[in-house]
């Protein structure tokens, strides 16, 4: 839903005024399972990516805390650890998966499967296409929340390379770079263009963040419980 609602020049058949209208229209015209298209590549990428993120975060946090506070808790260490873990998390798994997911979620997407999408993008646009929105997504994932919504529309445009939108502003070939995406979004939609799909983003972001951190903390406690009990008994 978010990908569709962030489209800057949508097909007349794919214009939506709200999340509910988008969901209803997609289900009625494209099938019950259409809103879940691309979920398989998301699941494939999210598991390993989050495992790498939390493993890197915990290791770096401990190492840097020992350096800055001699074993104590350091806010600076936590911040650096989170930023570096995000770089690894995004570069290795999330960006290729995000590009494929959004390409498959577009209206009238020509891709029949995940593998078909990967092969076509690789063949026609090169490996760099999977990382075209990397510099745009990074500030969002390092948790500069004030500009998250603005950059999310830019990221979607870079990932999908929306043909109708790019053609309307006389852009031939592929759009690259955060600055170019930022300018193009403004040309096409003005200031309000940066806030397309904000409802869908908020609806999924809140529970997904809560679930991710709850599961992480639960398994962290479960896996370290025995070690903590052993230390306490000593």
Q: Which value, in Å, is the radius of gyration of the alpha carbons in the chain?
A: 20
Length of the chain: 234
Q: How far apart, in Å, do the first and last CA atoms of the chain sit?
A: 54
* Cβ-proximal residues to 42 (8 Å cutoff; 6+ apart), any chain: 97, 101
User: 152 burial class (0-12, 13-18, 19+ CB within 10 angstroms)?
Assistant: buried
Picking from 30, 172, 171, the residue whose alpha carbon sits closest to that of residue 106 is: 30
Picking from 57, 45, 43, the residue whose alpha carbon sits closest to that of residue 220 is: 57
Q: Decide if 134 contacts 95 (C-beta within 8 A).
A: yes
Q: What is the dihedral of CA 81, 84, 86, 87, to 10 degrees?
A: 180
Euclidean distance between CA atoms 229 and 234, whole angstroms: 9
Picking from 153, 130, 116, the residue whose alpha carbon sits closest to that of residue 3 is: 153
Fold (topology level) of 2-197: Mitochondrial carrier fold (1.50.40)
pLDDT in tens, the chain (234 residues): 777 777 777 888 888 888 888 888 888 988 888 888 888 887 777 777 778 888 888 888 888 888 877 766 777 787 788 778 877 777 766 668 888 888 888 888 888 888 899 899 999 988 888 888 777 766 666 555 445 566 778 888 888 887 777 777 777 778 887 788 888 888 888 888 877 877 776 676 677 777 877 887 787 777 777 666 666 665
Euclidean distance between CA atoms 232 and 226, whole angstroms: 10
b/e 9-42 (16+ beta carbons within 10 angstroms → b) = ebeeebebeebeebbeebeeeeeeeebebbeebe
Q: Decide if 74 contacts 65 (C-beta within 8 A).
A: yes
Euclidean distance between CA atoms 51 and 112, whole angstroms: 29
């Amino acid at each position: 839903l978010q990908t569709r609602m962030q489209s800057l020049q949508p097909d007349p058949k794919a214009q939506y005024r709200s999340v509910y209208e988008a969901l209803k229209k997609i289900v009625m015209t494209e099938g019950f399972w259409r809103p879940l298209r691309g979920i398989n590549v998301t699941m494939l990428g999210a598991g390993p990516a989050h495992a790498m993120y939390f493993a890197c975060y915990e290791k770096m946090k401990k190492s840097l805390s020992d350096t800055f506070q001699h074993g104590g808790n350091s806010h600076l260490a936590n911040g650096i650890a989170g930023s570096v873990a995000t770089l690894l998390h995004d570069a290795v798994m999330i960006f290729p998966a995000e590009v494929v997911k959004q390409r498959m979620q577009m209206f009238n997407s020509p891709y029949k499967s995940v593998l078909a999408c990967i092969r076509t993008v690789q063949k026609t646009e090169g490996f760099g296409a999977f990382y075209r929105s990397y510099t745009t997504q990074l500030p969002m994932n390092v948790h500069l929340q004030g500009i998250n919504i603005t950059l999310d529309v830019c990221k979607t445009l870079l990932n999908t390379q929306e043909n109708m939108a790019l053609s309307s502003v006389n852009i031939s070939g592929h759009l690259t770079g955060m600055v170019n995406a930022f300018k193009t979004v403004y040309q096409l939609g003005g200031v309000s263009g940066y806030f397309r799909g904000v409802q869908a983003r908020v609806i999924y972001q809140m529970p997904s963040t809560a679930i991710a951190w709850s599961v992480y903390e639960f398994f962290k406690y479960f896996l370290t419980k025995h070690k903590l009990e052993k230390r306490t008994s000593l």
